Amino acid sequence: MVQREIIKTRPASMRGKIVSFNRINRYFSCAKPLKMALSRFEYVKKFELDDKLVPECWIVVRLDGKGFSKFSDLHNFVKPNDKRALDLMNHSAKKVFKEINDIVIAYGQSDEYSFVLKKSTTLYSRRSAKITTNIASLFAAAYTFYWPLFFEGEERPKMVPSFDARAVQYPNDQVLRDYLSWRQADCHINNLYNTTFWALIQKGGLSNQEAGKRLTGTFAKDKNEILFSEFAMNYNDEPDQFKKGTILVKDPNPEDKKNPYLELYQDLIGDTFWEEHPELLMK
């Protein structure tokens, strides 16, 4: 069927002759563009929404894993934190960083990652859908492709990983900092809860329901006390990657040219990090 249609469209000089597909392709690639016969249908483009983001605002694209509670159970992730999974998230984020030069800083924790694009970016003419879908697809593809590097003996995930994405605009540096502070505070709150929750189950012998009930209405000091008094665990000794999440920035003097990124586990809420990296807010 395809061959028959191609033969019908041959120019007069080629009709009745046996020619290769390459010759036909060369002819049409050199021919002058003709007005499309179906151009009257182009009006449907008017239904597309204009989703351009406001100029000179920070753009943050945040990815969240879809159904990752089920995903982590299916793949037997270590509770409360599986370093393999977190390192795979960081590796996938670096691949996004590499493909999109306008990313200034990225921050990840658990099954989420935030990518900050510089205020002056013109990526995809600042079209929200284009930016978010590109970053989400890059990240998901990298997560699947590099899975065997972090989960030894497994060629691919048993379930297709997917991530939703949203683009949010922040008008100034302080609001951007507050956003990143919010995500890091969320990391601390969730990790303290999960560390205590799983200690009650794995070391205290409680069921999931019993552990959840035990922690209902507790504050941070209560959870720290449970960890210390019942399980001899000092929460401050937990790895910073688990407590604070991961910051990714470009390394100005990378020793490894294939991995020109700094993977940091620092406090984003105070001023020290920003004083050490003033160039980040100058983009």
Tell whether the model's pLDDT for residue 240 goes beyond 90.
Answer: yes
Confidence of residue 28 (pLDDT cuts 50, 70, 90): very low
pLDDT, tens only, 59-76 = 999 999 999 999 999 999
Residue pair 173/199 in contact by the 8 Å Cβ criterion: no
Each residue's pLDDT tens digit, 106-149: 999 999 999 999 999 999 999 999 999 999 999 999 999 999 99
Q: Are 121 and 134 in contact (CB under 8 A)?
A: no
For 58-282, which CATH class?
alpha beta
Residue 37 confidence (pLDDT) above 80:
no
Task: Output the six-digit token pair for 33.
Answer: 């563009």
Give Cα separations from 204 to 181, 194, 218, 219, 226 (angstroms): 33, 14, 17, 19, 11
pLDDT confidence tier of residue 49, bands split at 50, 70 and 90: confident
Neighbours of 150 (CB within 10 A): 19
Question: Average pLDDT, whole number, for the chain?
Answer: 90
Who's near 151: CB < 8 A, 6+ residues apart? 75, 84, 88
What digits encode the pLDDT tens for the residues 177-230?
999 999 999 999 999 999 999 999 999 999 999 999 999 999 999 999 999 999
Residue pLDDT, tens place only, 16-25? 555 554 554 5
Return the domain boundaries, the chain: 2-47, 58-282
